[in-house]
A and B are shown apart, each in its own frame.
Chain A
Amino acid sequence: MIVPMKHITLFARKADERRIMKALQENGVIQIQASSAELEGESSESAAGLFRSACETELSDRQGEVATIKAALGRLNPYLPKAGLLDAPPECAEDELTGSVPGALSICGELDALIKQQAAVKAEREKKSALLKTLRPYNTVTIPLSDIKPTNTASFVLGLIKEEKLPVLDEAGVMYDAYPAEAGKTPLLAALPNAEREETLAILHEAGFHEANLPEIDGTCAEESDRLAGELASLELNYKELGGKIAAYGEKADELKRGLDGAMIEEKRAEARCGLFATKETFMLTGWARSDEAEKLESVIAQNAPVYCLEMRDPEPDEQPPTYCKNKKFFAPFEFITNMYSPPDPRGFDPTVVMTPFYLLFFGLMMGDTGYGAVMALGAALFIKLKKPTKGTGQVARILFWGGLSTMVFGLLAGTCFGMNWYDIFGESFPFPLLDPMKDQMIAIIFYCALGFFQIIVGMVVSIVLHLKQGDWQTALFDIGSWLMIFAGAAVLLLVKGPVKYVGWGLLGLGLILLVGFGGRAKKGVGRVIGGLGKLYDITGFLSDVLSYSRVFALGLATGAMGSAFNLVAGIARDMLKGIPVVGGVVSFVIAAVLLVVLHVFCVAINALGAFIHCARLQFIEYYNRFYTPGGKLYSPLGIDTKYNKVK
């Protein structure tokens, strides 16, 4: 059922604005529409412009808060206590959440300082270890570097050279001191006589000498290296200590999560406030509310504003209100399927109720395995019971629960149990499955296509009803009713013998006349005649739609076949391992059991995904095509939308 929407315009005093907005958000009764038209022509200096810019500033502050806390949580991610998959979110009051924002922000500040400190330590550590690496080849040089100073007649240069080049230097008469090599090359202190400085350097470079590029240090390289190593060790300790401090913040994650939820609530309200229009003393709010919540909305406003003016009216023909569907508890989760395609047009028809039975039917047939159905239903039930999921996740879990139950039934009627044939378990005399797609393939395909044909007929009947409701009897009779007559006539001709078949001919003929005669009624002249003939071409559409249901056969069979293949694999593994002496019995049993569990869980998951999507597709393309008007936008009221905590 689509709930009609009311267009809301509220005028109240600006002094009450924050209180009203908070109450509206707590109750979630209105979707605020930004009033941009009124703001046009207003200068930014006017009251309206000032109010808007103040709101926007507040919004960006709130967004900044959300981003800060999110980033902190992201950094703490490795240290967060692991939440169980099935733990229900903690419950909190709204004020508690919004109240914990400043605390969370100060935690973020402390954390940020720690992280910056840690980064500084890391940079220092890298610098020092690079220096240590540069010094390493010179550790054997016994002269303190500060002592290497030019004298009156010569200067000195320190560097590295390959040991085998030393004789070359000897030959050239270069004076040098060579030290033991530590890392491949030999450290060399060469004297450059002032008179032959350039020549000596040239000889050295020729021999592959690399001058050292060392910072100024006191003492020998070895001493300096030791000092650096000590510093590095303390830096490392410092780094680890800071890491520990950061990790300790993982325990404050709950506070951060509460803060994030609080900040998100405030962000959402700040965003909605940007849609208001304000003068000096009053403000105006426009938006949409559900007609069944109109009284609640009025009472919420009345409680929070002593003076107000509230206008409610039905949407104008050129307005596009949001869509809100309200269904009984059983049907409500299946709105998810429709919304996957597109929410219904707000003036259209909510197909959830007429779609759900078919969805469950084909879902069950596509999964077609009682064992898998039981696993799915149990798993979904546990998930719903323990995790208490809401919104999309909750809807999918409930669809899977009902789908699992349906799978159990259809697995018995036309399928398998954990990939095993029923008659293999219970003997040949077991009456189920009634239809074994493995044995009677053609019957199964035809049966599933017939079911699909029935769904298409239902879709056409729904379409006729909808058109009649709108008073469009011509479309209902000429375009859809005529086809139903043709189908009915053909069915009578095929199934019934004797004089009744003239009724069949009659229906077929009447249907054809209506279809061909009036199918082109919207056109003029020749088109009026040809257009009707063209309608006959729609038969190909019916044919392809019906054949599309043969996928039910393939997917149902694939589930069972995959399951039985996995059983086979586990069986082979067991038989192979049985041969191991002494422990063979236990090992083969354990391995086969593990294999079975893992493979069947995979099989349930992949086939449930396939059944979920293919079944949805059958509804979208083959069924909705007949009557559904998509194109709505979902009603999303200003409300409380949290990530980690549930608001009481």
Chain B
Amino acid sequence: MKKFRKFAIIAVIAALTLLVCGAVLAEGVPMGGAPQMPEPQDNTPKGYIWAAAAVCVAMILPGIGSALGVGMAGRAAAGVAAEDPEKGGSCLVFELLPATQGLYGFVIAMFIAVFSDILSGTVMQLATDLGRSFFYASLPIGVVGLVSAYFQSRVCCAGIGIVAKQGNGGMGITFAIMVELYAILALIISILMVVGVPVNA
């Protein structure tokens, strides 16, 4: 029950992050059935908000997952190293495995930042649709990165158990890497989506 609560907390954090992003983006998005209020036309493109939100999602969600995952695995590794410092090296590999999701998120965040020109002033001219595309591109690695880092970390903790008992965690690394596949697939899709946004068209 306790474990479930922990995961529920992450889920809530993730949902809140998405919600905040959504709320930010809600302006300018026409609601399906809502009556159209006669507003003064605002023609400024809103792409930069979307792009900024995309960078946030790509960095925050997998970052949470990785921080959590590395933290869990690190605690388990420290326990083993306390008993037998020589096994610390093998445990370190397990601790680092869930770190990759955060790095994938970082890569996508940098991609979006570079492609949308968030680092320069021209991002203000980014069309709303293009910015929205960046946002959607950040979702695969954001959500899958968060969840896969958490579950990979649990496999890693079990793998550290293998190291503690057998001294050699070779097979455990293979088990843990299996979870990583989905983060990698998400990374590929995110890359393809970011690169596919026709910014200069």
Contacts and interface: CB of A to CB of B under 8 A. Distances in A.
Nearest to A603: B103
B191 A614 contact: no
A551 B187 CA distance: 9
B105 to A, nearest CB: 11
User: Of residues B93, B104, B177, which shows the largest number of chain A Cβ atoms within 10 Å of its Cβ?
Assistant: B177
B8 interface: no
Interface stretch (B14-22, B143-151, B166-174): B166-174
Interface stretch (B29-37, B72-80, B106-114, B121-129): B106-114
B96 interface: yes
Chain B interface helix/strand/loop/mixed: helix
Given A341-B174, A613-B93, A621-B174, A561 B192 contact: no
User: Of residues A441, A572, A617, which shows the largest number of chain B Cβ atoms within 10 Å of its Cβ?
Assistant: A617
B174 A620 contact: yes
Given A438-B195, A561-B111, A565-B106, A341 B181 contact: no
A595 interface: no
B11 interface: no
A475 interface: no
Given A613-B173, A617-B177, A620-B174, A445 B107 contact: no
Nearest to B86: A643
B104 to A, nearest CB: 6
Contacts of B173: 340, 613, 616
B100 interface: yes
B169 to A, nearest CB: 9
Interface stretch (A354-362, A463-471, A552-560): A552-560
Given A441-B192, A565-B106, A617-B174, A554 B100 contact: no
User: Of residues B180, B184, B185, B192, which shows the largest number of chain A Cβ atoms within 10 Å of its Cβ?
Assistant: B184
B174 A554 contact: no
B187 A558 contact: yes
Interface in A548-574: 548, 550-551, 553-555, 557-558, 561-562, 564-565, 568, 572
B171 A610 contact: no
B133 to A, nearest CB: 16
Interface string A596-609: 00000000001001
A48 to B, nearest CB: 32
A558 B107 contact: yes
Interface residues of B, number: 28
A442 B188 CA distance: 10
B99 interface: yes
User: Of residues A548, A561, A568, A614, which shows the largest number of chain B Cβ atoms within 10 Å of its Cβ?
Assistant: A561
Q: Categorize the interface residue count of chain A.
A: 20 to 34
B177 A561 contact: no
Contacts of A617: 174, 177-178
Contacts of A551: 181, 184
A554 B96 CA distance: 18
A291 interface: no
Nearest to B90: A392
A282 interface: no
A568 B188 contact: no
B142 to A, nearest CB: 16
A9 interface: no
A415 to B, nearest CB: 15
A339 interface: yes
28 contacts: A340-B171, A341-B170, A342-B170, A438-B195, A441-B191, A441-B192, A445-B188, A550-B185, A553-B188, A554-B104, A554-B185, A557-B107, A557-B191, A558-B104, A562-B103, A562-B106, A562-B107, A564-B110, A565-B106, A568-B114, A572-B119, A606-B96, A609-B93, A610-B100, A613-B93, A616-B173, A617-B178, A620-B174
Interface of A: 339-342, 438, 441-442, 445, 548, 550-551, 553-555, 557-558, 561-562, 564-565, 568, 572, 606, 609-610, 613-614, 616-617, 620-621
Closest A-B pairs by Cβ, 3 of them = A340-B170, A565-B110, A561-B107
Given A561-B107, A613-B93, A621-B174, 9 more contacts: A441-B192, A550-B188, A554-B191, A555-B184, A562-B103, A565-B110, A568-B114, A572-B119, A609-B96
